[in-house]
Amino acid sequence: MADATLFRTCPDTGLPVHLPAQRLIKANAVAGVLALALGGLQGLMVALTRWPDLQLLPAEAFYTMLTGHGLNVLLFWIIFFEVAILYFASAILLKSRLAAPNLAWVGFVLMAVGALTTNYAVFQGDSSVMFTSYVPMRASPLFYLGIILFAVGALIGCFIFFATLVIAKDEKTYEGSIPLVTFGALTAAIIAVFTIASGAIILIPTLLWSLDLIPEIDPLLYKVIWWAMGHSSQQINVSAHVAVWYCIAAMVLGAKPLSEKVSRMAFLMYILFLQIASAHHLLVEPGISSNWKIFNTSYALYLAVVGSMIHGLSVPGAVEAAQRRRGFTRGAFEWLRKAPWGNPAFAGMFTSLVYFGFLGGISGVVMGAEQLNLIMHNTLYVPGHFHATVVAGTTLAFMAITYLVVPLIWRREIMFPTLAKWQPYIFGLGAAGISLFMMGAGTLGVSRRHWDINFTDAALSFSYPDTAFLMMALNGLSGLLAAIGGVMFVVIVVSSILFGKKRGDDAAETNPVIGVGGGQAVASYGSEGTLKLPGTMILVGVFFIAFFLYYWVNWKYLSEVWPLS
Partner 1 sequence: MAIFPPEKRIWWKEPLHGFELVWIGICLVWAIVMFGTMIVWHVIGEQNLSNTAYRIDPDVFAARTEAMVTQYTVREEGDTGIPVVHPPAGSDVYLQASLWQWYPILELEKDKEYRLHLSSIDWQHGFSLQPTNINVQVHPGYEMVITLKPNKAGEFGIVCNEFCGIGHHNMLGRIYVVE
> Within positions 293 to 312, which residues make up the interface with partner 1, using CB under 8 A?
294, 298, 301-303, 305-306, 309-310
Span from 102-110, 261-269, 429-437, 471-479 in contact with partner 1 (CB under 8 A): 261-269
The CB-based long-range contact list for 416-419 (8 Å cut-off, 24+ gap) reads 416/491, 416/492, 416/495, 419/488, 419/491, 419/492
Span from 28-36, 201-209, 351-359, 541-549 in contact with partner 1 (CB under 8 A): 541-549
Please state, in angstroms and rounded to a whole number, the distance separating the CA atoms of residues 401 and 89: 13
Q: How many binding residues for partner 1 (CB under 8 A)?
A: 111
Binding mask 42-81 for partner 1 (x = CB under 8 A): -----------------xx--x------------------
Binding-site member from 211, 268, 455, 538 for partner 1 (CB under 8 A): 455
Does position 37 interact with partner 1 (CB under 8 A)? The reply is no
Does position 550 interact with partner 1 (CB under 8 A)? The reply is no
- Whole-number minimum distance, CB 539 to partner 1, in Å? 11
CB 384 within 8 A of CB 363: yes
Does position 272 interact with partner 1 (CB under 8 A)? The reply is no
Binding mask 381-400 for partner 1 (x = CB under 8 A): --------------------
Binding-site member from 201, 214, 523, 546 for partner 1 (CB under 8 A): 523
- Site residues for partner 1, window 220-249 (CB under 8 A)? 220, 246-247, 249
End-to-end alpha carbon distance in the chain: 66
- Whole-number minimum distance, CB 314 to partner 1, in Å? 7
Q: How far is CA 374 from CA 92, 201, 288, 449, 560, in A?
A: 47, 29, 14, 18, 12
- Whole-number minimum distance, CB 559 to partner 1, in Å? 7
Q: 157-176: b or e for each residue (b if 16 or more CB lie within 10 Å)?
A: bbbbbbbbbebbeeeebeee
- Site residues for partner 1, window 314-333 (CB under 8 A)? 314, 317-318
Give the side-chain half-sphere CA count within 13 A for 409. 29
Identify the DSSP state of 364.
Answer: H
Does position 551 interact with partner 1 (CB under 8 A)? The reply is yes
Report the residue count for the chain. Answer: 565
Please state, in angstroms and rounded to a whole number, the distance separating the CA atoms of residues 305 and 321: 24
Does position 485 interact with partner 1 (CB under 8 A)? The reply is no
Binding-site member from 145, 365, 397, 497 for partner 1 (CB under 8 A): 365
Does position 106 interact with partner 1 (CB under 8 A)? The reply is no
CB 150 within 8 A of CB 229: no
- Whole-number minimum distance, CB 504 to partner 1, in Å? 23
Does position 125 interact with partner 1 (CB under 8 A)? The reply is no
Q: How far is CA 227 from CA 10, 139, 217, 494, in A?
A: 41, 18, 15, 34
Binding-site member from 177, 201, 538, 549 for partner 1 (CB under 8 A): 177
Does position 252 interact with partner 1 (CB under 8 A)? The reply is no
Specify the 3-state DSSP secondary structure of 9: strand
Give the side-chain half-sphere CA count within 13 A for 180. 31
Does position 553 interact with partner 1 (CB under 8 A)? The reply is no
